[in-house]
Amino acid sequence: MCYRTFIVIAGSREAAFTYAITSAGVTYSITQACSLGKLKRCSCDQSKKKSKVLNEGWKWGGCSADIKHGLKFSRKFLDAREIEQNARSLMNKHNNRAGRKVSGHA
């Protein structure tokens, strides 16, 4: 068994960090892919797509990041393997949630 595998198996600060940083990374990656149009099931954040006219008639028309979709995908994808309701599973879900929290509005 390699050292990296042991860190995730054992309940440690390193394992907690690994779960949190993985969750944040998945959230960020999915959100970016949505904004760039690389995924079929999401696009721009529609709640921020209201036309805004600023000085001299300039109109905002950019694509805002759909962080809600990134958070939802990360929760479904990473928390799906935590099906047992034991202490370790609850801790892993907590660490995943912490990672999503630093990414957006978990």
Q: pLDDT tens digits for 11-65?
A: 788 889 999 999 999 999 999 998 888 888 887 776 665 555 556 665 656 677 8
The rounded distance, in Å, linking the Cα atoms of 31 and 69 is 7
| One-letter amino acid for residue 80 of the chain | A
Mean pLDDT value of segment 71-87: 91
Residue 83 pLDDT level (bands cut at 50, 70, 90): confident
pLDDT the model gives residue 3: 47
Q: Is residue 10 predicted with pLDDT exceeding 80?
A: no
| One-letter amino acid for residue 79 of the chain | D
pLDDT the model gives residue 44: 75
CB atoms within 10 A of CB 66: 23
Q: Is residue 71 predicted with pLDDT exceeding 90?
A: yes
What pTM was estimated for this model as a whole? 0.74
